[in-house]
Structure 1
């Protein structure tokens, strides 16, 4: 995936180091680099092998107006479905505001890490773009602490009925310091369990009857005894897939309260739950495909398509591969359930656009962020991206059956939790330490050693 929704394995030693920052907040900003993902997984978006040309040089400008400075927006959507979606977004913005000149200035590569490096340098030099693509929530915390983001609670969130149309989870992610500083554009769900319909039927397994993650082990054993398929397709070449998987196991086995307690750093108080969840993932590991350590997530997902694996846990971008496969139809050939134990919960990964201080075009940026939060923008962008809108009042006509069901699940969810792996739930430095712990885990599947690293991650 081009847009780095798939995960992050960037360690502390890869972080941007900037000397001479004046305040504690700016120092934290300089030292805390959120990661993109493993470069092996940056060739496709939503599982498609289709790519499009970078939008560098694309003519998205209109005749300049003296009322607005040029709007500069940076993002990492330069290929695949992401490029199509962001083109649709700016086409709609151009129609709505033809007098605002737009300079799209995308930064490709590194699964988003390259953009984040550029942004941090620009912000530290008080030369930010008008806005940029960013994971919201705790990922933006260093910018908030450094007073580098504007309060847009009234100027942006007071428009378009946004405060009523967004559920609490996305709204909380948009105000990591208590004030609205960003606008989420899309949602990718993380607590999915996809499966090959024929394989589970041949095995006599009903995915909807699996009540908690630990029960999934016996279901996979049954699959392997009754069919030639492995229980779960997975990749361990990089740690992010296992990080996501562990988070859903913790959520499904021990509930929202324990999940959120972990994100707050209450590790020792939840020692048994954390270690048991690691053990469950270790139990899963014996049912992974034998080549898990040498393949990408897209290659793992193909095993579900060709019937070599029963189950697959991944963000909803995995469904892009299924939808793009001829003769592989939703419900009859593939389907999904909420990850066992997470019924009524929607685990969020999101992209957003923040409002920086020292903005080079503050009025144009406000109009852009208002548009990002509108029904029109989210209806244009999300069907092409393979994501759903954070607004609950966007028509479902363009979304297809799978995403329409995801939209219903989101609208009816009892709670929405933020992603650990993508940094919505934990700040960049902690996220880096957590990633190191999960790399240790996938290297040796040592529960005790990994738990100790998780505990140190918050210190």
Structure 2
């Protein structure tokens, strides 16, 4: 009797071990490359990982600090024949070469099944598609022309409300400077400075000028008086940054505002994720406003591409599951609440998102306020040339607006 019981017990244990092994083998393993390493970003990407694991996947995290470094690492692996299951890119044209080399899976089947094109702004659909096929999965919309500020620091300096005009904006910076804090928390990196320039260009020049420059590649628009005024205002910002700005990471600049060492940061709303992580309430402790002008909402964001696995033109089971998980309505809300962005899906319930997110959502609902980021409209090569021109101008206080305009016009006139 005891032997029979022992055999049954051992048999049950063996069967359980076999089932556990089989279940583990059934998990859809996916290595995901990304650059989300700051506090707020790490909290956000964990949502994707947890949701994917709960859906039957096995998230294998492969984080590389810095967007440029992460993209380069992913591209090298994809071209080298050892691709991850998925890799992060910014929404836009950064993955054009991978599409042209036929290295990415066509996600259209998953997109059609989920009705993505019906629930995303057209500019986002266009940025994720090539020749009518989805080659990327958009996961959010980042507003790029925000200013975030430490409410207590501004109030102490005598600034009781977010500046509503450019005269008010520069007056606020002067008050902050007089109070002894750094007015602008500045990240002196080319991509950050170009983001600020584009925000100033839209705020002062309007959507029409912005689109003429970046969509139409109109060199004459660059030579206009409105463009020149935006350049002058951008150059004026040099007077409000500290000596430690060159080379500073965006999240280190955000930390200056969080700790009260600086008053304002002009940055995309991914910065809001770090304010949230620091227990500052968006719209209260961490104030937020689109840069003066109410000209629109510069829509950036993040996408994930899915490299081909073997000879199949479509995603494998793990890739399909990951894409579906990322765009699941509940995942969209949870992820974007932590990331600081707003959902890429327009059909989800955003009523409980924070006050800053509500401002962005309201702007995106109005097609007239939807402004695609410059990276949606120009190639990676052109983007690099513009970034060089912008950062060279800003870092050189003796550089003239005329020289910058001439350089910019040459670049945009030959843009692809």
Instruction: Name the structure 2 match of 1:351.
Output: 302
- Tell me the equivalent position of 1:454: 408
Determine which of 389, 399, 416 is the counterpart of 1:437.
389
Query: Out of 318, 340, 343, which is 2:271 matched to?
Result: 318
SS at match of 2:140: strand
User: Which one of the candidate residues 195, 209, 223 is aligned to 1:258?
Assistant: 209
Q: Is the 8 A contact 2:272 2:282 kept in 1?
A: no
Deviates more, 1:286-295 or 1:442-451: 286-295
Asked if 2 retains the 8 angstrom alpha-carbon contact of 1:137 and 1:175, the reply is: no
What does 1:111-122 align with in structure 2 at a 5 Å threshold?
111-122=66-77
2:39 pairs with 1:64: no
Is structure 2 residue 64 aligned with structure 1 residue 108? yes
**Residue 336 (structure 1) aligns with:** 288
CA drift at 1:249: 0.7
Structure 1 residues 275, 143: closer, same or farther in 2, change over 3 A?
farther
Give deviations 1:60-99, integer Å, cap 9, x for gaps. x96334xx97544333345633333333213322333x2x
**Mapped contact 2:144–2:269 kept (Cα < 8 A):** yes
Q: Secondary structure at the match of 2:330?
A: helix
Shift in alpha-carbon separation, 1:169–1:294, aligned structure 2, 3 A:
closer
Q: Which residue in 2 is equivalent to 1:91?
A: 50
How many angstroms does 1:286 deviate by? 1.6
SS at match of 2:138: strand
Deviation at 1:224, TM superposition (A): 4.6
State whether structure 2 residue 345 is matched by structure 1 residue 384: no
- Would you say the 8 A contact 2:33–2:61 is kept in 1? yes
Question: Once the 2 structures are TM-superposed, how far is the Cα of residue 425 of structure 1 from its aligned partner?
Answer: 3.6
Between structures 1 and 2, the one with greater helix share: 2
Cα separation, partners in 2 of 1:169 and 1:337, compared to 1, 3 Å: same
Shift of residue 375, structure 1, vs aligned partner: 0.7
Change (3 A) 1:88 1:308: closer
- Contact 1:346–1:410 under 8 Å retained in 2: yes
Tell me by how many angstroms 1:429 deviates: 1.1
Q: In structure 2, what is the equivalent of residue 416 of structure 1?
A: 370
Q: Secondary structure at the match of 2:103?
A: coil
| TM-aligned CA deviation for residue 121 of structure 1 | 2.6
Cα shift readout 1:189-221 (whole Å, capped 9, x = no counterpart):
21112233345446655655623x466334434
Aligned length: 385
**The 10-residue stretch of structure 1 (168-177 or 181-190) with the greater mean CA deviation from structure 2:** 168-177
1:211-226 map, 5 Å: 211=165, 213=166, 216-221=169-174, 224=177
Q: Secondary structure at the match of 1:337?
A: strand
Aligned to 2:12: none
Distance 2:334 2:283 in 1: 26
Q: CA deviation at 1:432?
A: 1.6
- Pairwise mapping of residues 286-305 of structure 1 onto structure 2 (< 5 A)? 286-293=239-246, 295-305=248-258
- 1:152 and 1:181 in contact (8 A); partners too: yes
Task: Sort the Cα spacing of 1:191 and 1:207 in 2 relative to 1 into closer, same or farther, 3 A.
Answer: farther
- Deviation (angstroms), 1:335: 1.3
Q: Does residue 1:148 correspond to 2:107, yes or no?
A: no
Give TM-score, length-normalised by structure 2: 0.79
CA distance in 2, matches of 1:310, 1:63: 51
Counterpart Cα distance in 1 of 2:70 and 2:184: 33
Cα gap change, 1:214 to 1:358, in 2 (>3 Å): farther
Match of 2:83 in 1: 128
Structure-1 separation of matches of 2:299 and 2:357: 14
Q: Which residue of 2 aligns with 1:161?
A: 115
Give the whole-Å Cα distance in 2 for the aligned partners of 1:219 and 1:87: 38
CA contact under 8 A between 1:138 and 1:426: conserved in structure 2? yes
Structure 1 residue 427 and structure 2 residue 382: aligned? no
User: Residues 74 and 129 of structure 1 are in contact (CA less than 8 Å); yes or no, is this contact kept in structure 2?
Assistant: yes
Question: Residues 357, 440 of structure 1: CA spacing in aligned structure 2 closer, same or farther, 3 A cutoff?
Answer: same
C-alpha root-mean-square deviation of aligned residues, in Å? Answer: 3.3
Q: CA 1:290–1:355 in 2, change beyond 3 Å: closer, same or farther?
A: closer
